[in-house]
Amino acid sequence: MAGCGTSDKKSAGAEKGNESLPTAEESLRAEYWMYQDLGPVPVAVMNPLSPEKIELGKKLFFDPRLSGDNSLSCASCHSPEQGFTDGRPTAVGIRNQTGPRNAPTLINAAYYKKFHLDGSVNSLEEQVLKPIQNPIEMGQNLADLVKELKAVPGYVKEFNNVFQGEITPERIAMAIAAFERTIVQRDTPFDRFMAGDDHALTQEQKLGMELFANKGNCMVCHAGPTFSDNDYDNVGVDNGDLGRFLVTALEMDKGKFRTPQLRDLKYTAPYMHDGSMATLEEVIDHYDVAEHVNQYVSQDFVPLHLTKEEKKALVSFLRDGLSGPPLRIDPPLLP
């Protein structure tokens, strides 16, 4: 996929004729021709955004009443202070039950085409209700939740104001999804560099950016404005989780998980679908060796033969070049 950028660059150079050669920064940007601005957040036609709906969704997101024993909120596993994750290898739910997968960040999640690490959910609205009902996550019965929220006058008033109707599971999901669509990071050194600021990235980060596009082989999967191709791959993390296979029942999908978006990696450790890698250095070492632990590992997963300096530059680009200011969201006053 990186080769496409090279082809466009050559064509552009030919058209310039006698004009001056592109700078190193211009050439590097040309490698990333497909990484245009994120663009507007995708919004479901049936769930248009409004400030009031977003504010209601924010309150619900932080409200522990959404869990069966009122001990956990959505923010418990997706804390703004921890990059909208929980900082644990795998999520811990109601009654301290441990789940099988890492809690993925919600940053830029609205840009995914499918949701959950295995792509088992088709919309952000549908996704919202899954952890609420999951017995090892929030363990809540939706009928009980509606009854509990209807007992709160403030919620009754806000739902009526936003939806011109009563509280329902579908409207709970729509409000929370509206809030989650505001969790967007687009102000990183990489984004500023792509917008024309030659000094937004350090020289080491520029080397890492070049490695990402070429020797690092990262663009094969981490492609496009979100750094995700919205596809699924087995990258040799074999913890017994069948991943995408549980959705499709296709043999070739065993151990496959969605390619994650990469902005704000600084805040979202640990990494991989099982949270088994505490640092980006571990992640790069894993990809550098590219051990095929089973027959289902992607053919694109090949040894990289990176030097120590190259690994350091790639980590610097991923950790700092792709991370912006922390997305601070103060917990709201609940009704």
**Which residues are known to be catalytic?**
137
Residue reference for tokens 């490698």? 31
- H/E element holding 147? helix 142-150
β-bridge mates for residue 79, sequence order: 85
> Is residue 266 within 8 Å of 334, Cβ to Cβ?
no
Beta partners for residue 233, in sequence order: 257
Answer yes or no: are the C-beta atoms of 306 and 211 closer than 8 Å. Answer: yes
Q: Are 329 and 180 in contact (CB under 8 A)?
A: no
Please tell me the distance from the alpha carbon of residue 333 to that of residue 59, in angstroms, as a whole number: 7
> Is-cis flag, bond preceding 104, omega within 30?
no
Half-sphere exposure of residue 105, counting CA atoms within 13 Å on the CB side?
A: 28
Per-residue buried b or exposed e for 261-276, using 16+ beta carbons within 10 Å of the residue's own CB:
bbbbbbbbbbbbbbbb
Which amino acid makes up residue 138? M
Question: Count of alpha carbons within 13 Å of 168, Cβ hemisphere only?
Answer: 10
Measured at the alpha carbon of residue 254, what is the angle toward residues 97 and 280, in degrees to the nearest 5? 65
β-pair partners for 243 = 256
* Measured CA distances, 81 to 77, 109, 132, 325 (Å): 11, 17, 21, 12
Return d(Cα 41, Cα 185) in angstroms, integer: 11
Confirm if 100 and 146 have CB atoms less than 8 A apart.
no
